[in-house]
Amino acid sequence: MQKETIYLASDHAGCALKAAVCTHLAAAGYQIVDLGPDQGESVDYPDYGVKLAMALKDDTAARGIAICGSGIGISIAVNRFSWVRAALVSTAEAASLSRQHNDANVLALGERLIDRALALTCIEAFLGTAFEGGRHQRRVDKLAAIGNDR
């Protein structure tokens, strides 16, 4: 059975981790869409954050993984869009809580700050955790409303 679609995007500093994540998730049965870039010359993380956000706008059931050197820049870029809730994490517990409490739909990672094994553990925690809803739904609804009333 085919699992959900996962969109991946990075900048040049996240390409190696993105490739490893693609291989890992494809082997686990996820539908992978690699939005780039391929290994090579320097690119700008905002461009790939936009690609990821736009892919999720059209595929609301999917989730995304954003990777750059620190994870900070690409998470800021993708969070510019109201339908994205990206969480930059460095522990499996943070990855799980981003889903349970915040209904995060994008996981952000910093290739220079997290080793591959821990990154894959964080991804498994993120993909394997459901949103709890309940009292957390009210807070997620408030996040969605931010900016809509200004």
- Domains and their CATH numbers in the chain: 5-145 (3.40.1400.10)
**pTM of the predicted model, to two decimals?**
0.95
Residue 138 vs residues 12, 92, 145: alpha-carbon distances, Å: 37, 24, 11
**Which of 1, 9, 66, 58 has the alpha carbon at shortest distance from 31?**
1
Given a cut of 80, is residue 65 above it in pLDDT? Answer: yes
For 50, counting Cβ atoms within 10 Å of its Cβ (0-12 exposed, 13-18 middle, 19+ buried), the class is middle
The question of whether 101 is a catalytic residue gets the answer: yes
Catalytic residue among 22, 24, 101, 136: 101
Catalytic residue among 12, 15, 24, 68: 68
State the residue for tokens 């930059």: 88
The question of whether 136 is a catalytic residue gets the answer: no
Given a cut of 70, is residue 60 above it in pLDDT? Answer: yes
Would you say 50 and 64 are in contact if contact means Cβ atoms under 8 Å apart?
no
Q: What is the pLDDT of residues 88-113, one digit of tens each?
A: 999 999 999 999 999 999 999 999 99
